[in-house]
Amino acid sequence: MRRAHYTVVAALLVNAMMVLLANMSIEPIITVYIGGRGVGAAHVARVAGLVMACSALGSMLMAACLGAACGGFARWAHRRAGA
C-alpha cells in the first residue's frame, strides 16, 4: 500500500474517533440538559436514554453509506495511482 493510502486511512480513523468522542461526551450531561428542558424527574432517565439511542441509530444508518463512499474513493484512488 502506498504512503498516500495510509494517510487517507489515518484521516478516516481520526475522523471516526472524533465523531464517537463527540457523541459520547454528551452522555454525562444529557440528563441535566433534559431536566432543564422541563421533562419531569420521573422520565428524565428514559428520555435521556432515547436521545442517546437516537444518536447511535444515526451512526448505524450512516455507517453503510459512509462505508460505500469510502470504498468508492479507495477504488478511485487505486486506479489513479496506477496500481
pLDDT tens by residue, 24-62: 888 888 888 898 988 888 999 999 999 889 888 887 888
Terminus-to-terminus CA distance in the chain, angstroms?
A: 9
pLDDT of 5 higher than 80: no
Has residue 10 got a pLDDT over 70?
A: yes
pLDDT at 47: 92
The conformational region for residue 82 under phi > 0 = left, psi -120 to 50 = alpha, else beta, is: left
Q: What's the whole-model pTM score?
A: 0.58
Of 40-44, 62-66, 79-83, give the range with the top mean pLDDT: 40-44
Residue in 23, 52, 47, 24 with CA at minimum distance from that of residue 36 = 47
